[in-house]
Structure 1
Amino acid sequence: MSGILVVGAGGHAKVVIATLLAAGETVEGLLDDQPSRWGSMVLGYPVLGSLEQLEKPDSRAILAIGNNRVRQTLSERYPEMAWVSAVHPNSVVHSSVRLGAGSVIFAGAVVQPDTTIGNHVIVNTAATVDHDCVLEDYVHIAPGTHLAGQVRLEQGAFLGIGSAAAPGVRVGAWATVGAGSVVIRDLPPHCVAVGVPARPRQAKDQP
């Protein structure tokens, strides 16, 4: 079987590649729909061309794109793809954690018992997820984010760098929590919330 195709050639792809290599995986190259990136190198790996190459039989790939909506769009465009998950060996992930397809857990992250992580989720560098949390599909928690126990992040929610969530709170689908904010009560879907404590400031445009 060939190496893993990394989808996306931006900065996030560098961290995904580093995680794959640390986990003992082989990287074949990168794919990106921006022609200006074709033929360039990322950490010594070539940008091979467009995403059309995902249609090759027996391909394995991982979405290395930080934008939650784009990950959703691409995963739905290629429903038969064997999406690979990546867990950095310098993270701590309890054996009871359930990890979905295409999700990534980066270096320094801690994921505690009985947490459920959906598909194409990003648990970024040094983030912590305590017991019995649920991170639904396409969630992204940024570096240094801290979730207490029994937090639920609904589909597509994004928590900015250094943010935190108190025990048992729920963050609605496609909500955004600003950097350094602290969520102490439930947040509605499609909101942007900032501050300590985090309060909704505006509604995001829905697709």
Structure 2
Amino acid sequence: MKKLILIGDSGHAKVIEHVAIRAGWEVVAKIDDKYSEKKIELNGQVKGPLRIISELLDNETYILIAIGANRVRKLIFDKLQLPIEKYATVVDPSAIVSNDVVIGRGTCIMPNSVVNPASVIGNHVILNTRCVIEHDNIVEDYVHVSPGSILTGNVRVEKGCHIGAGATLIPSVNIGSWSVVGAGSTVIRDVEKDVTVVGSPSRVLSNVLGGRI
């Protein structure tokens, strides 16, 4: 059985662990800096701070950053400085993924999600429960597509974006890097980088400089 270390031990990590086990992985450790020292649970699973990860890694053990916050996933990846090949790709058995889809490392595809032909999914992406990624989409690194969201055809979601639960992106829109699409929003035009959009049709609520309605 393939061995997996999860970085993070909160609610999102519980879901990731469930998916990983269903996908045939053995979760041997959960690493989180809320722990000050290494400990071993009754089931043999190791828990402890991030600094112990080097002693747990071997050629047969892989990592998944089980944290929902996109910037935190990137921060941890940058801090660890490990080869991308050490990161697992975990796909729930109930997900429907076309044969020609490209999926990066450190990515998790949750139960009942759909990824249709000619789509490209980057590294450290979360495709959450029941989301739909239609044909010819590009989902870049560190994106989180929340439960029930729909990306229709030819959509591009740039690095670090968060697509809120139940949002819909119409065909051929582009979402700029590190932007947030609010839950339930309908995006009918391109979205700039570093902004938050909400509503149906969506409008800009704020940007990183603060203050646009």
TM-score bracket, normalised by the shorter chain, equals: over 0.9
State the 1:29 CA deviation: 1.9
Which aligned runs of 4 or more in structure 1 are off by greater than 4 angstroms? Answer: 36-41, 44-47
Identity of aligned residues (%): 37
- Quote the residue 2:100 is aligned against: 96
Does residue 176 of structure 1 match 2:180?
yes
For the Cα contact (< 8 Å) 1:190–1:205, is it kept in 2?
Answer: no
Give the alignment's TM-score, normalised by structure 1. 0.92
* Paired AA for residue 138 in structure 1: Y
User: What count of residue pairs does the alignment treat as equivalent?
Assistant: 204
For the Cα contact (< 8 Å) 2:185–2:198, is it kept in 1?
Answer: yes
* Paired AA for residue 139 in structure 1: V
- Quote the residue 1:65 is aligned against: 67
* Paired AA for residue 18 in structure 2: A
Counterpart pick for 1:79 among 75, 78, 81:
81
Pick closer, same or farther for the CA change 1:70–1:88 going to 2, 3 Å: same
Give 1:1-207 correspondences, 5 Å limit.
Answer: 3-35=3-35, 46=45, 48-56=47-55, 57-58=57-58, 59-81=61-83, 82-204=86-208
* RMSD (CA atoms): 2.1
Give the alignment's TM-score, normalised by structure 2. 0.90
Q: Secondary structure at the match of 1:193?
A: strand
* Paired AA for residue 156 in structure 2: R
Pick closer, same or farther for the CA change 1:121–1:37 going to 2, 3 Å: farther
Pick closer, same or farther for the CA change 1:28–1:91 going to 2, 3 Å: same
Q: Hey, what's the Cα distance between the residues in 1 that align with 2:2 and 2:77?
A: 20
* Paired AA for residue 78 in structure 1: L
Q: Secondary structure at the match of 2:25?
A: coil
For the Cα contact (< 8 Å) 2:38–2:52, is it kept in 1?
Answer: no
Q: Secondary structure at the match of 1:55?
A: helix
